[in-house]
Structure 1
Amino acid sequence: MSTKTIAIPPSFMLGAAASAWQTEGWIDKREGQDSWPDLWYKHDRHVWHEGYGPAVATNFYQRFREDVELMKQAGLTHYRTSINWSRFLTDYEQGVVDERYAAYYDELFDEMQRHGIVPMICLEHYELPGYLLETYGGWASKKVVELYLLYAEKVFERFHAKVSRWFTFNEPIVVQTRVYLDALRWPYEQNTGTWMQWNHHKNLATAKVVKLFREKGYPGTVGCILNPEVTYPRSRAPHDVQAAERYDLFYNRVFLDPMVKGHYPPELIALLEKHQVSWDYTEEELAIIAENTVDELGINLYYPHRVKTPSRAWHPETPFHPAYYYEPFELPGRKMNTSRGWEILPEIIYEMAMRIKNDYGNIPWFVAESGMGVENEGQFRNAAGTIDDDYRIDFIAAHLYQTLRAREEGANCLGYMLWAFTDNVSPMNAFKNRYGLIEIDLNHQRDRRPKKSAAWFRKLRDERQLTLTIDDQWK
Structure 2
Amino acid sequence: MIKFPNDFLWGAAASAPQTEGHSSRNGKSATTWDKWFELAPEKFNDNQGPENTSNTYEMFVEDVVNMRKIGMNSYRTSISWARLLPDGQNLNDEAVNFYRTYFQTMIDNGIEPIINLFHFDMPWWLMEKGGWENRESVDDFAYYAQVAFEQFGDLVHRWTTFNEPTVHIECGYLYGYHYPAVVDLRRAIQVGYHTLMAHVMAVQKFHQVNVDGQIGIILNVLPAYSRSDDAKDLGAKAISDLLSSRSFLDPVVLGHVPNELVKLLKRNELLPEINDNDKQLIIDNTVDFVGINYYQPRRVQAPKNPNFPAKMPSDWFESYDWPDKRVNPYRGWEIYPPALYDIAIMMRDEYGNIPWYVSENGMGVADEERFIDDTGMINDQYRIDFMKEHLEQLHRGIEAGSNCFGYHMWTFVDCWSWLNGYRNRYGFYRLDLNNNYKRTVKKSGLWFQQITQNNGF
User: TM-score over 0.5 for the alignment?
Assistant: yes
CA distance 1:27–1:176, change in 2 (3 Å) = closer
Residues 256, 279 of structure 2: 8 Å contact kept: yes
Query: 1:99-118 maps to which residues of 2 (within 5 A)?
Result: 99-118=93-112
Quote the residue 1:469 is aligned against: none
Residue 31 of structure 1, CA deviation: 7.2
Q: 2:130 aligns with which of 130, 137, 141?
A: 137
Structure 1, 267-276 or 418-427: larger mean CA deviation? 267-276
Distance 2:219 2:52 in 1: 27
Structure 1, unpaired ranges of 5+: 467-475
Distance 2:442 2:98 in 1: 28
Cα distance per residue 1:391-448 (max 9 Å; x no partner): 0001011111111221111000011000000110112111111000000011212211
Aligned length, in residue pairs: 457
SS state at 1:195 partner: helix
SS state at 1:417 partner: strand
Cα distance per residue 1:257-304 (max 9 Å; x no partner): 111111111111111111111421023011101111111100000011
Q: 1:213 aligns with which of 206, 211, 217?
A: 206
Residues 27, 86 of structure 2: 8 Å contact kept: no
Distance 1:45 1:330 in 2: 33
SS state at 1:120 partner: strand
CA distance 1:29–1:209, change in 2 (3 Å) = same
Question: What is the root-mean-square deviation in Å for CA atoms of aligned residues?
Answer: 1.5
Quote the residue 2:370 is aligned against: 379
Q: Is 1:412 the counterpart of 2:408 in the alignment?
A: no
Q: Is 1:331 the counterpart of 2:327 in the alignment?
A: no
Quote the residue 1:473 is aligned against: none
CA distance 1:32–1:422, change in 2 (3 Å) = closer
Quote the residue 1:320 is aligned against: 311
CA distance 1:181–1:44, change in 2 (3 Å) = same
Residue 42 of structure 1, CA deviation: 2.2
Supply the AA of the counterpart residue of 2:92.
D
Quote the residue 2:426 is aligned against: 435
Question: Could you state the TM-score of these two structures normalised by the residue count of structure 1?
Answer: 0.93
Query: 1:295-314 maps to which residues of 2 (within 5 A)?
Result: 295-314=288-307
Identity %: 38
Q: Is 1:454 the counterpart of 2:448 in the alignment?
A: no
Residues 32, 131 of structure 1: 8 Å contact kept: no
Q: 1:72 aligns with which of 64, 68, 81?
A: 68
Residue 216 of structure 1, CA deviation: 2.5
Quote the residue 1:470 is aligned against: none
Structure 1, 377-386 or 272-281: larger mean CA deviation? 272-281
CA distance 1:28–1:326, change in 2 (3 Å) = closer
Supply the AA of the counterpart residue of 1:138.
G
Cα distance per residue 1:22-43 (max 9 Å; x no partner): 0011256267711122222222
Supply the AA of the counterpart residue of 1:137.
G
Residues 378, 442 of structure 2: 8 Å contact kept: yes
SS state at 1:139 partner: helix
Supply the AA of the counterpart residue of 1:114.
D
SS state at 1:465 partner: coil
Q: Is 1:361 the counterpart of 2:352 in the alignment?
A: yes
Quote the residue 2:173 is aligned against: 180
Supply the AA of the counterpart residue of 1:77.
N
Quote the residue 1:146 is aligned against: 139
Residues 173, 251 of structure 1: 8 Å contact kept: yes
Distance 2:106 2:228 in 1: 48
Q: Is 1:293 the counterpart of 2:289 in the alignment?
A: no
Q: 1:55 aligns with which of 51, 62, 69?
A: 51
Structure 2, unpaired ranges of 5+: none
Quote the residue 1:119 is aligned against: 113
Distance 1:200 1:283 in 2: 14
SS state at 1:270 partner: helix
Supply the AA of the counterpart residue of 2:407.
Y
Q: 2:85 aligns with which of 85, 89, 95?
A: 89
